[in-house]
A and B are shown apart, each in its own frame.
Chain A
Amino acid sequence: MDELQKALDQLDQAGAAVRLAVQDLANAPGGAADAAGAAAHTLSGGAIDPFVFRFAIFVLAIFVGYYVVWSVTPALHTPLMAVTNAISSVIVVGALLAVGASAAGAATGFGFVALCLVSVNIFGGFLVTQRMLAMYKKKEK
């Protein structure tokens, strides 16, 4: 239990760090990391590609994912898979872009198919997770 407590504490600290970082980002000129990346891009005379900043975010997110997922209790591993599945449907943003450009012909078709597929996932994934989580109950005292 001690170890668990320690891990949770560390996670809380990590959470606080993330919150701080978010605030920093919010206060930074440009608003968000990507915009900050673009700003740095111009500041550095175009020497640093925005890709580098996106990649940095990507790598940091992998680390965040690593620590967060290790703290998930094994009893909830099935809901974890269901919910990661649901959130990976955020690929819907790409589908929306393709459908929205309705003059684009074939692209609209592909976008529409993608949109239907991920909508199944978004609604199905979150709802089935909710249904599963509602079943986990404590012992009645």
Chain B
Amino acid sequence: MNVNLASFLYLVSGILFILALRGLSHPTTSRQGNLYGMIGMAIAILTTLALALPSAGGFGLIVLGLAIGGGVGAFIARRIAMTAMPQLIAAFHSLVGLAAVMVAAGAIYAPESFGIGEAGAIHAQALVEMSLGVAIGAITFTGSVIAFLKLDGRMSGKPIMLPARHLINLALGAALVVLIVLLVGTESKFIFWLIVAASLVLGVLLIVPIGGADMPVVISMLNSYSGWAAAALGFTLGNLALIITGALVGSSGAILSYIMCKGMNRSFISVILGGFGGETASAGADDGIERTVKQGSADDAAYLMMNAQKVIIVPGYGMAVAQAQHALREMADKLKANGVEVKYAIHPVAGRMPGHMNVLLAEANVPYDEVFELEDINSEFAQADVAYVIGANDVTNPSARDDKSSPIYGMPILEVDKARTCLFVKRSLGSGYAGIDNTLFYKDGTMMLLGDAKKMTEEIVKAMDH
């Protein structure tokens, strides 16, 4: 195939990827967008095959690889539970990272098939681009593996703090720069693998000190990294589809990280440096004042909600853990049948990844036009009779708004304390992830419903039938 035609086709697939993201501006156009993405990918693959016609053996291998990977991927995509989505995304990121390393390795072992020079005489520029790609790819790989282990609960979500970790990271970063310079000078494969090794270690060290509830930032950041790795390799290969896609994914992940940081009122740097949520802060809890908590039963909750005019439901990570979304929708259906107005309020950092709650509610058949973002619904709490908080904690803590000494002061919160009654479903009276006492529990309008989120909601549904 003509090289010019090929670059044009790569450009087309890049444009299709842009349209795929563009489609996500609204649920109705999103499915079309996803289709564009698939077409773009098919064009990129077919163009590459036509451009560098593989030998018969090579072609067999390609079909085999696509079949193995595709089979596994399709199987996972069909079987995975929606609650496991954050882990899945982290796992997928790690695959992109590792693939980037492998592609770069392929390029350094067979530079002629990538058009970047002969073995022993690879263009310096290609070597720089490649080593950047391989370093970011390797960091993405191990970083995502750690994120996966934390999200999947195979590793404690608590931050693991190594002594002098900032120094170690800085030293590793400096070593990487030196190694890249050496690689350009010598083109030694040994140094190439040293770069890989150093980056793999760096990836682990970067993510290990970051706690569970900061995962929305981490997972977006790794998303961004996988994009930059792809872009760097795109420069090596001179491939437009890769360059455009890398830039898109890189900026997408960066924007998501920014949105998540803003949702927590924390700087990106402080999240990356990690350690938040490790120590149990005692702020506000031990001021010596005896505070009382009002507890209620499922019957009380059912009575309150059935006699309300407007109920706003505030889901959080606890809903995902308890898989309570279906029971929740049943409850909302009962309320709506009784003439109660029901809305859902989602905090930007609710759950373990951007948009986590929205997907779970969609899975439970909650219509998306009943689900609102923080800034759209916060003013409505004052007119609501009941706010039903299920599995959220820190994002409803009024001290983030009122108490300047609170560690989470300044974080935007859902103002559930403004509703006439706040029903708060919680396992126990312990503090939330940030280790901060929630002053909401002691307010007059708050009724605590102690128990598992799913069981409690189911009991409320039952009580509503009486």
Contacts and interface: CB of A to CB of B under 8 A. Distances in A.
Instruction: Tell me whether A and B are bound partners.
Output: yes
Interface in A23-72: 25-26, 30-35, 50-51, 54-55, 57-59, 61-62, 64-66, 68-72
B8 interface: yes
A87 B109 contact: no
Contact of B44 (A11, A69, A93): A93
B355 A77 contact: yes
A103 B55 CA distance: 9
A33 B40 CA distance: 17
A122 B107 CA distance: 21
A34 B240 contact: yes
Interface residues of B, number: 126
Contacts of A117: 69, 95-96, 98-99, 102
B358 A74 contact: yes
A115 B427 CA distance: 45
Contact of A131 (B69, B77, B112, B244): B77
Contact of A110 (B33, B71, B102): B102
Contacts of A66: 251, 255
Contacts of A107: 105-107, 109-110, 113
A75 B27 contact: yes
B276 interface: no
A101 interface: yes
B7 A111 contact: no
B40 A87 contact: yes
A61 B77 contact: no
Contacts of B78: 127, 131
A32 B113 contact: no
B238 to A, nearest CB: 6
Contacts of B240: 32-34, 54, 57
Q: Main secondary structure on chain A at its contact with chain B?
A: helix
A133 B18 contact: no
B83 to A, nearest CB: 12
Given A69-B21, A108-B58, A139-B370, 9 more contacts: A33-B240, A73-B27, A75-B368, A78-B359, A100-B52, A101-B58, A113-B99, A115-B66, A118-B95
Interface of B is mostly: helix
A121 B92 contact: yes
Given A65-B251, A119-B68, A32 B8 contact: yes
Interface stretch (B150-158, B172-180, B225-233, B453-461): B225-233
B139 interface: no
B61 A108 contact: yes
Contact of B21 (A35, A65, A139): A65
Interface residues of A, number: 97
Interface stretch (B9-17, B378-386, B411-419): B9-17
Cβ-closest 3 pairs across A and B:
A119-B69, A98-B106, A77-B355
Contact of A121 (B96, B253, B259): B96
B203 interface: no
A104 B109 contact: yes
B49 A68 contact: no
B54 A99 contact: yes
A85 B67 CA distance: 19
B399 interface: no
Interface string B1-43: 0011101101101110110111011111011011001101100
Interface in A1-26: 8, 11, 15, 18, 22, 25-26
B252 A91 contact: no
Contact of B367 (A32, A69, A140): A140
Given A92-B44, A100-B54, A110 B109 contact: yes
Contacts of B191: none
5 contacts: A11-B25, A55-B235, A58-B234, A123-B73, A136-B368
A76 B346 CA distance: 12
